[in-house]
Structure 1
Amino acid sequence: MTGVQSIMLAAGGTGGHLFPAFALAEELKRRGVEVDLMTDMRGDRYGSGFPARNVYQVPSATLAARAPADIMKTAATLARGTRAAFKILGTVKPSAVIGFGGYPTYPPLMAARLRGIPTAIHEQNAVLGRANKLLARGVTAIATSFERTKFLEGKVAEKAVLTGNPVRQAVIDAAARRYEGPTSDGVIRILVFGGSQGARFFSDTVPLALFALPDQIRKRLRVVQQAREEDLERVNEAYSEASISAEVAPFFADLPARMAAAHLVIGRAGASTVAELTVIGRPSILVPLPHALDNDQLNNARRLAEAGGGWCFEQRGLSPERIADELQKLLEAPVALATAAKAAKTAGRPDAVRNLADFTLALAGKKYSSGG
């Protein structure tokens, strides 16, 4: 036992925020520390079975527009959430509150500050998110996933500690599988997914791109693709017409294992995706989500590409023909895939969850000092 009473985690409703919080909760429980989760009214949408003693839901809202009426409405909801969180923290009395980004973390972290409870935020991306920007100045400490985090500057940067982005135990287990590139006449396993909610762009383009490949490559393909419910039928039909063996579903509970089995991954560039790709060590073609306010996915993908662990292509102007050309080059040169897999693995931080747990317990035990 650590002597720490309990830790309250706060995470937004997306997988990118929820999964690293999940990983930290697993590690803290292994160390005998009780964990609670505070999130918004969406709760655990992904059915992850979050390893918390209790899950508390408090009102929250995202500032989506700058009109005065929208700002006032969002502020009122966040104020209600802060009051609710203040009451919950008074009952639970955690030793620290750790936020993982997204506006649902704002009420619990503000309430913790009002109660004098040590606080920290964890930034998964290479860019400081909007909610974390608002909270950064007032928290006790900041944990980062990249050596350089855009918008983390000045006095605020002095509170930052590099921990990496923690991944779940299922990812650590999958990382034990060694990468073996496709043989000259063997099957080629391609995994396609667009983050926790799927991506219509991949449903529109990837089947057409794979259909455009030469016969000698296409007949060897074994595709696993995540697609939205409303896209399942047409994606399956496209693969059937192309005579490509494919498994298409809206969600794969065993995604880390499927990632480990893949010769090549095609996906978005969310923080959790990049963290899992690098810990497992798999080559990837990343197409960052366009129109993001902070370009966080573009920055994530570029960092991985700079390390040699994958290829970054912006969605604008990316046609099925272009994807087919790039795929053909890679699939005809498996050495390039193996080299990228090795570089991705080198960039991974499998110790991130231990680092973040150490950071959390030091904060909770009031042993943390800025820059420490």
Structure 2
Amino acid sequence: MSAADNPAGKPVILLAAGGTGGHLFPAEALAGALGARGVLVDLATDDRAARYAGQFPARRLHILPADTVRSRSPLSLARTAFSLASGIAKGMALMRSLKPAAVVGFGGYPTVPPIMAGVFARRPTIIHEANGVMGRANALLAPRVKAIATGYPGICDGDPALAAKAHHTGNPVRPAVRAAAGAPFRAPQAGEPFHLLVFGGSQGARVMSEIVPPAIERLAPDLRARLRIVQQSRAEDIEAVRAVYDRLGVEAELAPFFDDLPARMARAHLVVGRSGASTVAELSVIGRPSVLVPLPHALDQDQLANAKALANAGGALLMPQDQFTPERFADELARLAGEPAALDAMAAAALALGRADAAERLADLVLQVAGLGTHGGTGAHA
């Protein structure tokens, strides 16, 4: 980086994230918090995630090769090793030119090359683990980095060496989530409209379309008449789902994607969805009751760990996918709709688990590890 690129000589923090929104969203929130303190932020990712990072608040985007372990075959392992080694080599060149004050990774294999390059270049390195169990990439990096930030407390307790450098910051959430967090929750009383929000992301919308409509059909007519449903459905499923709700006379808004999901979450009386780290963090910061259906067969079972954390706190009902049947969901929905006090208690429990200031906490940690205090050397603390 030349002086012309940074005429004020501001410190530069390199963020490493990619793969999914679960990695990019908290990185985006941290970038905003650091930028407000006068710190320049660059983003390192791989070419697959780069297409989702167009709105990321970074000064520059750096593409480094990376690959995940797809199978245990010698050819696949060799391909992954070559990609990661190439990424680390390019990362070392980036360290020499950028000279970042710190490198911060958010999990997933796209973070391995820049974090390892930072370790080899003796730059302060931090990883953030958003889930209730550490993912494979972060587990590989954790012994090598200077600090570990966690979305949930206690996930490093089984290893004293890791626990000694672990800091529970919470999971940073997008500005739209923080804006929605001020809306108070009031459970609907008998006869009042009941707002149900259903979403599942790219890997969850199908099961929601298969289970929720027949569950609604099993409800008593007076409860069906109260429902106001907002549901994410895949484009190929929308007409079939709409046909069921139209036949039942249920008011429903369907779409493959909602770009204002935090605001819709704030208006909901019950949320039904997967339990990725970002979803659980947003439910907690906004404070809404939920039925969580973790993605099954995940290698790390991270969604199950996230759902258990919120359910154990009293903020959610955990329903594994093999138990997420029309009959079971209809029973639970009818029970919760008839118990406003239970919904109020769930909302309060979820809110108690949330950390709306997680981005600020993480920014504090990053700047301290980087030796920049908590103000980024500018005296402006946002």
The alignment's TM-score, normalised by the length of structure 1, stands at 0.94
Q: 1:168 deviation in Å?
A: 1.3
- Find 2:76's aligned residue among 70, 74, 84: 70
Residue in 1 aligned with 2:240?
Answer: 234
- Equivalences for residues 169-180 of structure 1 within 5 A: 169-180=175-186
Per the TM alignment, residue 62 of structure 1 is displaced from its structure 2 partner at its CA by 0.9
Partner of 1:111 in structure 2?
117
Q: Which amino acid aligns with 1:36?
A: D
Contact 2:204–2:274, Cα closer than 8 Å, also in 1: no
Supply the distance in 1 between the matched residues of 2:158 and 2:179 (Cα, whole angstroms). 33
Judged with a 3 Å threshold, the aligned counterparts in structure 2 of structure 1 residues 310 and 143 are, in CA distance, closer, same or farther, namely same
The amino acid that maps onto 1:158 is A
Give the Cα separation in 1 of the matches to 2:26 and 2:264: 19
Residues of 1 paired with 2:237 and 2:96: CA distance? 46
In structure 1, how many angstroms separate the alpha carbons of the residues matched to 2:244 and 2:52? 28
Opposite residue 223 of structure 1, the aligned amino acid is I
Residue of structure 2 equivalent to 1:263: 269
- Aligned equivalent of 2:44, options 38, 61, 79: 38
Query: What's 2:164 paired with?
Result: 158
Tell me what 1:276 maps to: 282
Structure 1 gaps of 5+ residues are none
Q: Is the 8 A contact 1:43 1:57 kept in 2?
A: no
**Using a 3 Å threshold, how does the CA distance of structure 1 residues 109 and 317 change in structure 2: closer, same or farther?**
same
Of 247, 272, 296, which aligns to 1:290? 296
**2:228 alignment partner, SS class:** strand
Who is 1:324 aligned against?
A: 330
Moved more, 294-303 or 240-249: 240-249
Partner residue, 1:343: 349
Give the drift of 1:64: 1.8
Q: Secondary structure at the match of 1:229?
A: coil
Matching residue's letter, 1:350: A
Who is 1:249 aligned against?
A: 255
SS at 1:18's partner residue? Answer: helix
> C-alpha distance in 2, partners of 1:162/1:269?
19
Among residues 309, 322, 325, which one is paired with 1:303 in the alignment?
A: 309
Is the contact between residue 4 and residue 365 of structure 1 (CA under 8 Å) also seen in structure 2?
A: no
Cα distance in 1 for residues equivalent to 2:362 and 2:53: 24
Structure 1 residues 150 and 112, CA gap change in structure 2 (3 angstroms): closer
Deviations 1:205-262, CA, capped at 9 Å, x for gaps: 1111112111111112111111223323322233223322211212211111110010
8 A contact 1:195–1:270 mirrored in 2: no
How far, CA to CA, are the matches of 1:316 and 1:220 in structure 2? 28
Cross-structure match for 2:379 = none
The aligned amino acid for 1:216 is: D
Q: What's the counterpart of residue 155 of structure 2?
A: 149
Q: What is the DSSP-based 3-state SS (H/G/I as helix, E as strand, rest coil) of the residue aligned with 2:48? A: coil
1:161 deviation in Å? 1.1
Report the Cα distance in structure 2 between the residues aligned to 1:207 and 1:45, rounded to whole angstroms: 34
| Stretch moving more, 3-12 or 149-158 | 149-158
Q: How far is the alpha carbon of 1:151 from its aligned partner?
A: 7.7
The SS at the match of 2:71 is: coil
Q: Contact conserved, 1:10 with 1:108, CA < 8 A, in 2?
A: yes
2:144 match: secondary structure: coil
Runs of 4+ in structure 1 off by over 3 angstroms are 44-48, 195-198
Residue type of the alignment partner of 2:187: G
Distance 1:189 1:53, change over 3 A: same
Q: Give the aligned partner of residue 95 of structure 1.
A: 101
Please tell me whether the aligned partners of residues 11 and 37 of structure 1 are also in contact (alpha carbons under 8 angstroms): yes
Corresponding letter in the other structure for 1:297 = Q
Secondary structure at the counterpart of residue 72 of structure 2:
coil
**Separation in 1, partners of 2:287, 2:346:** 8
User: Which deviates the most, 108-117 or 81-90?
Assistant: 81-90
Q: Percent identity?
A: 53
Equivalent in the alignment of 1:84: 90
Contact 2:169–2:362 (Cα < 8 Å) also in 1: yes
6-15 or 153-162, larger mean C-alpha shift: 153-162
Q: Deviations over 1:32-56 (max 9, x none)?
A: 1111111111235546711111122
Match of 2:26 in 1: 20
Do residues 131 (structure 1) and 137 (structure 2) align? yes
Stretches of structure 2 that go unaligned for 5 or more consecutive residues are 1-7, 375-382
Instruction: Give the alignment's TM-score, normalised by structure 2.
Output: 0.91
- Range moving further from structure 2, 262-271 or 148-157: 148-157
What is the count of residue pairs matched by the alignment?
Answer: 367
* SS, match of residue 137 in structure 2: helix
Structure 1 residue identity aligned to 2:71: A
1:195-234 to structure 2, matched below 5 A, reads 195=201, 198-234=204-240
Q: SS where residue 272 of structure 2 aligns?
A: strand
The Cα RMSD (Å) is 1.9
Structure 2 CA distance for partners of 1:144 and 1:152, relative to 1, 3 Å: farther
